[in-house]
Amino acid sequence: MQDHRRFAQAVRERRQQLGLSRVQVRDRGGPSEPTLTRIERAEITDPSPATLAKLDSGLAWTAGSAARLLSGGSPRSSDAPATAGQVAFPDVDRIALDIATVTDLISVSTRLAEHAEQRAEDTDLRSIADDLSSALHPVYGTYVTQLFEANRREHGTLSPIFAAFSHLLDEPNNAVDPDEFEERQYRRWLAGRTSGIDTATDERFTRRLQASHENRGGQ
C-alpha cells in the first residue's frame, strides 16, 4: 500500500540529512526542482519509474530504494561518492530574485527566441535560444505555477494575471524531461488551456490543485 505522506516526509528528511538544497539534489541526478518540491509536499501521488530512479541517484540511495519506500518499505543508503566534476557550493545554495529580475530574464529569453525565429538559417542561435529558455524554466517555474494556482483558486477562471505570462503559455511544450513537460502542461491547464489534455490528466491536475489548496491551510 502506498503512503504518500510518509514518502514525502522521508524524501524531505533524507535531503535535509544530506544537507542538500533541491537544486543540489537535481545536480546529483535527481528530479527537477519543481518535481522534488511537489514530492516533498505530497502533491505527486503517482511518481513515474523515471522519477523514482532519479530520487535514488539524487539522494544517494541504492537502486530501487525510492520505489520500495513508496510501497511501505525502507530505502537504503548507497554511500556513493559524488560524481567527479560536480561543483558544490557549501556556503551559498540559494539566492533570492525579485519578480522584476525574473521578468527581465524572461523578456531577454523571449527576444532572443524571436530573433532566432527570424534567422532560421542560424542553427547555433536557435540552439542557444532553446538552451536559455530551458535553463530559465526552473528559475521561474515554481513561482509561476504557485501564482497560477492561487489565481485559479481565487478566480476560478482567467484573470489579468495570465496576460503577464501569456508568452510562456504560447511557447510549444517541447520539454524532453517528462517532469518538466508535465509542469508546463499543468500551467497551461491552470490557465484554462485544456486542448490536448485527456480525462486522466485533467483529473490528476484537479487533484494537484486541490492538494495545493489543502497544503496552504485552505486559504
214: cell is 489543502
pLDDT of amino acid 108: 87
**How does 130-142 read in b/e, with b if 16+ C-beta sit within 10 Å?**
eebbeebbbebbb
Cα 112-116-117 angle, rounded to 5 deg: 120
pLDDT of amino acid 36: 92
3-state secondary structure of 218: coil
Same domain assignment for residues 170 and 209 = yes
pLDDT of amino acid 7: 92
Same domain assignment for residues 109 and 9 = no
Same domain assignment for residues 12 and 49 = yes
pLDDT of amino acid 88: 43
CA-to-CA separations, 69 to 3, 5, 57, 117, in angstroms, rounded: 9, 11, 14, 46
Instruction: Examine residue 204 and state whether it is found in any structural domain, yes or no.
Output: yes
Same domain assignment for residues 125 and 60 = no
What tens digit of pLDDT does each residue of 20-73 get?
Answer: 888 889 888 899 888 898 899 888 888 888 889 899 999 999 988 998 898 888
Q: Which residue carries 513508496 as its cell? A: 70
pLDDT of amino acid 82: 43
Same domain assignment for residues 120 and 182 = yes
Contact 210, 202 (CB under 8 A): no
- For the chain, the domain total comes to 2
Give the residue numbers spanning the domain of 22: 4-70
Instruction: Examine residue 87 and state whether it is found in any structural domain, yes or no.
Output: no
Instruction: Examine residue 85 and state whether it is found in any structural domain, yes or no.
Output: no
Half-sphere exposure (Cβ direction) of 35: Cα atoms closer than 13 Å: 23
Residue 91: count of CB within 10 angstroms of its CB? 5
Same domain assignment for residues 108 and 157 = yes
159: cell is 484573470
Instruction: Examine residue 83 and state whether it is found in any structural domain, yes or no.
Output: no
pLDDT of amino acid 104: 83
Residue 97: count of CB within 10 angstroms of its CB? 13
Instruction: Examine residue 93 and state whether it is found in any structural domain, yes or no.
Output: no
Instruction: Examine residue 167 and state whether it is found in any structural domain, yes or no.
Output: yes
Same domain assignment for residues 45 and 141 = no
Q: In which residue ranges of the chain is pLDDT below 50?
A: 1, 80-93
